[in-house]
């Protein structure tokens, strides 16, 4: 009676398992994954920098606007313009971040998961071909508008709302005449004799209507990076 354990694994399956989990291949892919992870982290840090610029600029303008009564409320128009510019720059950076993040997620889903699960069948598919093509010809995975909307939804909506509250507060605090109704509020929008009330009102309404519309559209059409409740979430409780 032989002590050698029996196995029902076909020889072809054994050879494929060895080739799929070859040590040199795993080592190379591990270094590749580490490098790609470092790349997306550097781009992620760039996103934080532009957000910090927008917050710092807004804080400075708030300080100036509320410290000096003679400063007109139209200063918040420049605040809005600067924040739009920061958002545009951040959206461009987010497209690069998302392109490399997609590559990392491809490796995690199709390489790391089969290794953790010890299931070579999960290695099937054309993911290796797709990664190679993306290395040869990198491409963006989302449009400019979607990147713009995602960053607006994540961070900049709150910045714009704070600017709106500060703008209206400035109008009420430093109005030339007491504001008692909508007509007096509309008249207080005028800045000197060169900027009429209708122009300021148009800027206010157009800006914040755009913010709300884009945020609502992206929320209904675009998925985030991480789901709110993952599969078997209860298993992660400590």
pLDDT at 224: 63
SS3 191: strand
* 208, 164 Cβ separation under 8 angstroms: yes
> How do the residues of the chain divide into helix, strand and coil, expressed in percent and rounded to 5?
75, 0, 25
Q: Which residues pair with 195 in a beta bridge?
A: 191
Whether 58 is covered by a domain: the verdict is yes
Q: Between helices 144-151 and 197-221, what is the axis angle to 10°? A: 100
Q: Which range marks the domain in which residue 143 is found?
A: 24-223
Closest C-alpha to 197, from 183, 206, 186: 186
Note whether residue 107 is domain-resident. Answer: yes
pLDDT band at 12 (very low <50, low <70, confident <90, very high): very low
The whole-number average pLDDT for the span 105-134 is 78
> Residue 1 — very low, low, confident or very high, per pLDDT cuts 50/70/90?
very low
Higher confidence at residue 230 or residue 203? 203
* 122: in domain: yes
- CA–CA distance, 224 with 218 (Å, rounded to integer): 10
Please provide the average confidence, as pLDDT, over all residues in the chain. Answer: 82
**Is 228 part of a structural domain of the chain?**
no
Mean per-residue pLDDT for 133-151?
89
Residue 159, pLDDT > 60, answer yes
Closest CA to 94 of 153, 134, 135, 137: 153
Considering the entire predicted model, what is its pTM?
Answer: 0.78
When pLDDT is cut at 50, 70 and 90, the band that residue 62 belongs to is: very high
pLDDT at 157: 93
Q: What's the pLDDT at 24? A: 84
Mean pLDDT over 69-74 rounds to 88
If one compares 226 and 45, the residue with the highest pLDDT of the two is 45
- Token digits for 191? 């800045």
How large is the average pLDDT for residues 124-132? 79
Give the mean model confidence (pLDDT) for residues 67-83: 91
Task: Tell me the percentage of the chain whose pLDDT exceeds 90.
Answer: 32
Structure-model confidence comparison of residues 56 and 122, the more confident one: 56
Consecutive H or E run containing 24: helix 23-67
* Structural domain contains residue 13: no
Distances (CA, A) of 37 to 51, 100, 106, 111: 22, 8, 12, 14
Highest averaged pLDDT of the listed ranges 15-24, 124-133, 147-156: 147-156
With vertex at residue 150, the alpha carbon angle to CA 65 and CA 60, rounded to the nearest 5 degrees, is 15
Residue 174 confidence (pLDDT): 81
pLDDT for res 175: 80
Q: What is the mean pLDDT of residues 202-217?
A: 91
Measured in whole angstroms, how far is the alpha carbon of residue 37 from the centre of its chain?
17
Determine contact, residues 149/214, Cβ cutoff 8 Å.
Answer: yes
Q: What are the CA-CA distances from residue 224 to residues 98, 137, 173 (Å)?
A: 11, 25, 40
**Angle, vertex CA 129, rays to CA 127 and CA 134, nearest 5:** 95
Q: What is the pLDDT of residue 4?
A: 47
Domain contains 15? no
Q: Is the pLDDT of residue 8 over 60?
A: no
Structural domain contains residue 233: no
CA nearest to 175, candidates 156, 190, 160, 154: 190
Residue 206 lies in a domain: yes
Contact 142, 98 (CB under 8 A): yes
Split into its structural domains, the chain has a count of: 1
| Span 29-48, average pLDDT | 88
Paired strand residues for 191: 195
């Amino acid at each position: 009676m032989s002590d050698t354990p029996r196995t029902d694994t076909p020889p072809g399956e054994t050879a494929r398992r060895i080739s799929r989990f070859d040590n040199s291949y795993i080592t190379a892919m591990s270094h590749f994954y580490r490098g790609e992870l470092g790349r997306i982290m550097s781009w992620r840090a760039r996103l934080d920098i532009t957000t910090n610029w927008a917050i710092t600029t807004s804080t400075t303008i708030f300080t100036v606007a509320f410290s000096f009564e003679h400063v007109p409320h139209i200063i918040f128009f420049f605040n809005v313009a600067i924040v739009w510019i920061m958002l545009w720059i951040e959206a461009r950076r987010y497209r690069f971040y998302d392109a490399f993040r997609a590559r990392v997620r491809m490796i995690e889903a199709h390489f790391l998961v089969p290794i953790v699960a010890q299931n070579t069948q999960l290695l099937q598919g054309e993911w290796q071909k797709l990664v190679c093509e993306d290395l040869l010809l990198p491409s963006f995975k989302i449009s400019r508008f979607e990147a713009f909307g995602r960053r607006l939804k994540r961070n900049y909506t709150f910045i714009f709302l704070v600017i709106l509250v500060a703008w209206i507060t400035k109008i009420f605090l430093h109005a030339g005449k007491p504001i008692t109704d909508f007509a007096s509020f509309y008249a207080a929008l005028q800045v000197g004799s060169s900027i009429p009330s209708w122009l300021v009102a148009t800027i206010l309404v157009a800006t914040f209507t755009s913010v709300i519309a884009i945020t609502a559209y992206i929320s209904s059409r675009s998925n985030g990076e991480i789901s709110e409740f993952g599969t078997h979430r209860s298993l992660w409780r400590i």
